[in-house]
Amino acid sequence: MTSLDSATSPTPGPDVTELVVGVLGGTGDQGRGLAYRLAKAGQQVIIGSRNAERAEAAAAELGLGVRGADNATTARESDLVIVAVPWDGHGETLASLRAELAGKIVVDCVNPLGFDKQGAYALKPEEGSAAQQAAALLPESRVTAAFHHLSAVLLQDHAIETIDTDVLVLGDERAATDLVQALAERIPGMRGVFAGRLRNAHQVESLVANLISVNRRYKAHAGLRITDV
């Protein structure tokens, strides 16, 4: 088995340095964290929000050339769009952006979870997963799923230079998943690992409920590594 500390990319990826990356829900913790990491790595990033002013304010706070805009403008002006909106509202937001997202690579990183006294548990979307819901609502887009297991705390901690984790990338189109893997690998410490088709996205999304249990038990910000790759 490959040693775990040699987590180098299993496949050399395409050049993604010129891609403009939009982040829908970019004013939330996860979206803002991803926007920060990608911009810091040199990517052009637009933060999207329903409220353009909030997006602009979040972008100004991040610096690094990040712009802010309403969701529709963000989708239109980006080559690749990360969906980091809350699960509640996911379908409605995407349905409203179908035209703007046509032809774009969409990266869904939404985890449909419920919470009660015992912690988090998986919700099962009618379509099977958040990613499959996105694919159903955006038939002209190239829908992938990735970036589910990142700690928003670590992403946003400017004192941390390296995020030691694998990013599981799912999708039905090889060229799209290759691009998303390469994008993940722009962030120091991250490695993109292809992990199956969209029909197997539900368990990847839901595994966040388990990572929340890990975090509670061990006071950690848990991530994942795939061994032997």
To the nearest 10 degrees (0 to 180), the angle between helices 29-40 and 52-62 is 50
**Interface residue with a second copy, options 63, 121, 140, 175 (CB under 8 A):** 121
Render 33-58 in DSSP notation, one character per residue.
Answer: HHHHHHHHTT-EEEEEESSHHHHHHH
Which residues, 122 to 151, sit near a second copy by CB under 8 A? 122, 124, 151
> Cβ closer to a second copy: 52 or 226?
226
167 to 206: interface string for a second copy, x by CB under 8 A = -x-x----------------------xxxxx-xx-xxx-x
Show the binding pattern over residues 10-49: x = contacts a second copy (CB under 8 A), - = does not.
Answer: x---------------------------------------
Q: Which is nearer to a second copy, 62 or 170 (CB)?
A: 170
Choices 24-32, 60-68, 90-98, 207-215; region in contact with a second copy by CB under 8 A? 207-215
Residue 203, C-beta contacts closer than 8 angstroms, at least 6 positions apart? none
CA dist., res. 58 & res. 24, Å (int): 12
Q: Which of 30, 59, 165, 187 binds a second copy (CB under 8 A)?
A: 165
Binder of a second copy out of 104, 142, 191, 221 (CB under 8 A): 221
Cα-trace Rg, the chain: 16
- β-bridge pairing 80-83 and 67-70: unpaired
CA dist 39 and 90 (Å) reads: 24
**For residues 38-97, which are near a second copy according to CB under 8 A?**
none
Stretch in the footprint of a second copy (CB under 8 A) among 27-35, 38-46, 94-102, 218-226: 218-226
Nearer to a second copy, 57 or 136 (CB): 136
At a CB cut-off of 8 Å and minimum separation 6, what does 187 contact?
Answer: 37, 38, 41, 163
DSSP bridge pairs for 82: 23, 107
Complex with a second copy: residue 96 or 119, whichever CB lies closer: 119
Alpha-carbon span 43 to 64, nearest angstrom: 9
- The beta strand positions in 123-197, using DSSP E, are 142-145, 165-171, 190-194
Binding region for a second copy (CB under 8 A) = 1, 3-5, 7, 10, 118-122, 124, 151, 154, 160, 162-165, 168, 170, 193-197, 199-200, 202-204, 206-207, 209-214, 217-218, 220-229
